[in-house]
Amino acid sequence: MDLNALSDFALVAMNGGLGKASRASGRSKATLSRRIADLEEQLGVRLIERSARGLKLTEAGQMLMDRTEGPMHEVADAMTSAREGLSVPRGRLRIASPVLFSQLAMGRISAEFYAAYPEVSCEVVADDRLVDLVEEQFDAAIRINPAPDSSLVGRCFAKDRLVVVAAPSVPMPKPGKVSPVPAIVSTSFQAGNWTLDEGRLVLEPIPRLRLSSFLMVRDAAIAGAGAALMPQSIAWNQLTRGELVQWGMVSGVEVALWILHTSRRLPAPKVRAFVDFMCAQYPQGSLVLNG
């Protein structure tokens, strides 16, 4: 298949007509029309319906556009990178990030990244879904403890630990037996004991409040509603100020944050720059040290 013809077809389809595509590319309408006709002949199907009202993609044309739009962008990125010596990050960078991490960190991080790379336009979408990077046109995604995925690669940029905290006014149980405690839990809470510091303290949480955000859980704990299980980084400032007391750390559980991108895509300079930038934000590999 002629990649030039495919590129011209995509250009006409995205611009909605030969005239607009001609003005956008500087190529004549006759050249673009001939390239599309050649592509249709190669494939043996009609890709564009021509009428007095303009051009419209056929079903086959829409299918071809859907399947090739992403790869064509990748080819363009690769050619741009080659011309620039793989050195100049630029263009739109679209990132998916968990809601809580976005609220706590991504505003600052995206602003500092833009200051370092002013030719990159950064778009951060806060979403707890496992977005499809290719289908939804994301360049990268931040994920917590991601499952192995052969289509994605990346780096772990920080780790966190789960801890149980409470206000100083809430009495801490003594070690030695399973202790029921009033608890603030998430809406996804499942019954089970909290085992802290390799079994030094075992708690039976009795839910008093069920809240859908760790920020609400933290604030309820500060207000003295009970003990709460949460990532240490979320409560770090409050622990430092004495608004909360750490009762212990959950044994054998680690929270790892990764920055991922598609493995089949030649990483564009903007993607490589952002991965390196995220890792540089947490040089000790801990969210707590940057809380």
What are the structural domains, with CATH classification, of the chain? 3-67 (1.10.10.10), 91-158+256-290 (3.40.190.10), 161-254 (3.40.190.290)
CA distances from 186 to 48, 213, 236 (A): 53, 7, 19
Q: Which of 64, 142, 150, 43 minimizes the C-alpha distance to 98?
A: 142
3-class secondary structure, 18: helix
pLDDT at position 252: 80
Low-confidence ranges of the chain (pLDDT < 50): 85, 290-291
Quick one: pLDDT at residue 135? Answer: 83
Interatomic CA distance for residues 275 and 278, integer angstroms:
5
Apex CA 236: angle with CA 225 and CA 277, to 5°? Answer: 140
User: Which pLDDT score, from 0 to 100, does residue 242 have?
Assistant: 96
Nearest-angstrom CA–CA distance, 3 and 8 = 9
pLDDT of residue 201: 93
pLDDT tens, 106-128? 999 999 999 999 999 999 999 99
pLDDT at 291: 42
Pairing relation of β-strands 152-166 and 245-262?
A: antiparallel
- Contact at 8 Å (CB) between 228 and 217? yes
CB atoms within 10 A of CB 40: 18
